[in-house]
Amino acid sequence: MTPTVTGMAAGAVLAFAGLAFGFWGFLLTALLMGTGALLGRSAEGKLDFRGVRDALTGRRSSS
């Protein structure tokens, strides 16, 4: 799936959640989608949690 199609699908899901469940349903859906995306990238091996932690704590720069 291309990034454009993925973004459109995510936008459609968030729009539906906002219409059906209101603001808090929208936020919960966005949070769960973000969590799922992080876990998916980790499972594919495209995300290193140690590197992210080190960058957030200032041990290593992102540049």
Query: Rounded CA gap, 17 and 23, in Å?
Result: 8
Query: Rounded CA gap, 28 and 32, in Å?
Result: 6
Q: For the whole model, what pTM was predicted?
A: 0.68
pLDDT band with cut points at 50, 70 and 90 for residue 23:
very high
pLDDT value at 60 more than 80: no
pLDDT band with cut points at 50, 70 and 90 for residue 32:
very high
Mean pLDDT taken over the chain: 86
20 to 6, 9, 15, 35, 36: CA distances (angstroms): 21, 16, 9, 21, 21
pLDDT value at 57 more than 70: yes
Spatial CA neighbour of 3 closest among 56, 22, 11: 11
